[in-house]
Amino acid sequence: MSHTLPLPEFAHERVEVVTGRRSGLFLAVALHSSVLGSALGGARLWTYPHWSDALGDALRLSAAMTLKNAAAGLDAGGGKSVIGLPEGTVLDAERRRAAFLDLGDAVEMFGGAYRTAEDVGSTMDDMAVVAERTDHVVGLPDVAGGSGEPAGPTSLGVYESLRAVLERATGSADVAGRAVTISGLGQVGGRLATRLAAEGARLAVTDVNPARRALADDLGAVWVEPGTEHALVSDVFVPAGIGGILTDEVIDALDTRAVCGPANNPLADHSGAQRLADRGILYAPDFVVNAGGVIYLDLEAKQLGERDEIMKRVAGIGDTVRRILRDAEERGVTPLAAAEELAAGRLSAGANHAEALAR
């Protein structure tokens, strides 16, 4: 079977692709940039139709982490790891443990230039297994002396971003009475839905896992079939599942004022940002919106502040979104372009500093 998406342009410092010696699974660790410091990015466990899809995901996600960490003001580069499952594969406990031991070995090959953490499909407990093979892992369980689950900080950053988007689109940041559609009720999307429901938002939700309908019922949210959610009328559409959901066809059918969500790389093509702008739909770039978890993990690991101070830094993502939206409007560019330029400025300064030190 051929891969479903073309491999992105290769601009990475280092990529290692291995077959796990214990699990027999495909593993890719991609270090995109270490200009700003040791790279940080999670480990994704996902099912792919072809190994090249898993590799492409690692390449795209690691590049997005470079932008995310730079735009967030972190002294951290961008990287990502992926464990690719062939279609139809179900891991038992023994093989799952083997996969994350293999991942630990692969991360250790980078000698600290890349640090991993949990991501889609992986957990804190999986990271504890990784830690048996390498010290270069963050987000370990609290009981193991780690910083714990990053989904809470990520959802806080998305919430504050959504408020900033509403403020720009409607004149008020208040979520009460606003129609919000959430596509994906995982760790982050579920937390966001719970908070928005408590504050009086009118929710429509969906997930590829039908068991998540129970949460929708608990929250009094409208459940819609996956693949149809983008056509609902909403104030904000929240992509909170896997990437690539915003194809040209989906963008043309969107009936919303704004898009703001935690899914990595929700645009199927970079040109989608302009397509959204042409339709008058406000777009908050994903790598800014979903940076709460990585801010939390990086600052906790480096012990740069007490936990409440770090969470205030996470909440500040809303102000970053406001700055980007304002800058985009003033300069007549898309918010994605404005966010990329913010990140590029930090990366350029970091590269110049490194060059100066090397002289």
Catalytic residue among 68, 80, 302, 312: 80
Residues linked to residue 33 through DSSP beta bridges, in sequence order:
78
Helix (H) or strand (E) holding 37: none
- Taking only the tens place, the pLDDT of each residue in 30-88 is 999 999 999 999 999 999 999 999 999 999 999 999 999 999 999 999 999 999 999 99
Q: Rounded to the nearest 5 degrees, what angle is found at the Cα of 135, between the Cα atoms of 130 and 141?
A: 60
Distances (CA, A) of 1 to 14, 27, 44, 86: 27, 19, 22, 11
At 203, phi and psi to the nearest 5? -105, 140
Look at residues 99, 123, 141 and tell me which one is the last residue of a structural domain: 141
- Taking only the tens place, the pLDDT of each residue in 255-294 is 999 999 999 899 999 999 999 999 999 999 999 999 999 9
Structure tokens at 182: 């959430």
Residues 61 and 80 sit within 8 Å (Cβ to Cβ): yes
Mark whether 206 and 335 lie in a shared domain.
yes
Mark whether 114 and 203 lie in a shared domain.
no
The residue among 153, 188, 193, 158 whose CA lies nearest residue 287 is: 158
Question: Where are the alpha helices (H) located in the chain, listed in sequence order?
Answer: 51-71, 93-108, 124-130, 151-170, 187-198, 213-219, 248-253, 272-278, 286-289, 292-301, 307-315, 317-331, 335-358
Residues 127 and 103 sit within 8 Å (Cβ to Cβ): no
Mark whether 123 and 183 lie in a shared domain.
no
Mark whether 220 and 333 lie in a shared domain.
yes
C-alpha span between 201 and 199 (Å, rounded): 6
Mark whether 122 and 165 lie in a shared domain.
no
Q: Rounded to the nearest 5 degrees, what angle is found at the Cα of 23, between the Cα atoms of 17 and 29?
A: 25
Residues linked to residue 18 through DSSP beta bridges, in sequence order:
27
Kindly report the CATH number assigned to the domain that includes residue 211.
3.40.50.720
In a domain, residue 237? The reply is yes
Mark whether 59 and 165 lie in a shared domain.
no
Count of H helices and E strands in the chain?
A: 13, 12
Q: Which residue, chain included where needed, has tokens 């002294």?
A: 75
In a domain, residue 115? The reply is yes
Structure tokens at 175: 């979520």
- Taking only the tens place, the pLDDT of each residue in 302-326 is 999 999 999 999 999 999 999 999 9
76 burial type by CB count under 10 A (0-12 exposed, 13-18 middle, 19+ buried): buried
Look at residues 117, 141, 165 and tell me which one is the last residue of a structural domain: 141
Look at residues 141, 163, 178 and tell me which one is the last residue of a structural domain: 141
Mean of per-residue pLDDT scores for the chain: 93
Mark whether 218 and 258 lie in a shared domain.
yes
Residues linked to residue 283 through DSSP beta bridges, in sequence order:
259
- Length of the chain equals 359
Mark whether 116 and 178 lie in a shared domain.
no
Mean pLDDT confidence for 102-112? 98
Mark whether 132 and 183 lie in a shared domain.
no
Structure tokens at 287: 């790598």
Kindly report the CATH number assigned to the domain that includes residue 42.
3.40.50.10860
Check if 80 is active-site: yes
**For residue 312, what pLDDT is reported?**
96
In a domain, residue 9? The reply is no
Residues linked to residue 137 through DSSP beta bridges, in sequence order:
116
In a domain, residue 70? The reply is no
Kind of pairing between the strands at 202-206 and 282-283: unpaired
Mark whether 335 and 200 lie in a shared domain.
yes
In a domain, residue 301? The reply is no
- Taking only the tens place, the pLDDT of each residue in 163-222 is 999 999 999 999 999 999 999 999 999 999 999 999 999 999 999 999 999 999 999 999
In a domain, residue 7? The reply is no
Mark whether 121 and 228 lie in a shared domain.
no
Overall pTM > 0.75: yes
Domain limits for position 285: 151-291+317-344
**For residue 4, what pLDDT is reported?**
56
**pLDDT higher than 90, residue 228:** yes
Mark whether 190 and 247 lie in a shared domain.
yes
Q: Which pLDDT band, with edges at 50, 70 and 90, does 243 fall under? A: confident
